[in-house]
Amino acid sequence: MSDQSSSTGNNTGSKLERLVKYLIDVEYQGKKLALATQFDAWIEGGRIVPSGKRVNSNGLIGGRFYYSAVISINPCSAPIELICAFVSFWLQANGSIDDSSEVEFSSDKNDDNSNDIELTIETFVEDIELIEKPNGPFILNNKNYDFGEQSLWIAETFTLIEQVIGNE
């Protein structure tokens, strides 16, 4: 097994992004679980709970983001038990007390003896961390805030599903 900390050493990105990166990078007996292109992940049932909690001298937790995380691996030749073991140990090492410790999964056998695997972590919790900045776009109690360097998740790519048509 590879060292778990190699893919989780920093807190850049959401927990879902970090877990998927870990699963893509991890090896068992010299083999990866699946190709990176066979992984897909998404968020379901996201909700935000406002917070306004001050942290450090100029920080603020603007809210908490709660969501269900879904990871799909299609096709996957690795046994579901192996994938579940890696996910379980990652959650124990990287999850917070507010995150689900249980993972639901399904595995459908394909004709070529590979599987279509779907894992669901019922709840991940992420703090929305802001810092005071003079021209920050978020205002609370007459103070301006913006995202700190480590708190903003920026998508590397995205797909536009619908177009918004403006008034003419």
155 is a domain residue: no
**H or E segment and range at residue 102:** none
158 is a domain residue: no
Buried (b) or exposed (e) across 66-83, using 16+ Cβ within 10 A? Answer: bbbbbbbbbebebeeeeb
22 is a domain residue: yes
Residue 88: give the domain boundaries: 4-147
162 is a domain residue: no
Instruction: Return d(Cα 119, Cα 101) in angstroms, integer.
Output: 13
User: Per-residue pLDDT averaged across 98-121, rounded?
Assistant: 92
User: Per-residue pLDDT averaged across 5-27, rounded?
Assistant: 77
Helix (H, G, I), strand (E, B) or coil at 68: strand
52 is a domain residue: yes
Mean pLDDT of the chain: 84
pLDDT for residue 163 is more than 80? no
pLDDT for residue 1 is more than 60? no
86 is a domain residue: yes
Angle between helices 15-25 and 80-94 (to 10 degrees): 130
Global confidence as pTM: 0.77
163 is a domain residue: no
Total number of domains constituting the chain: 1
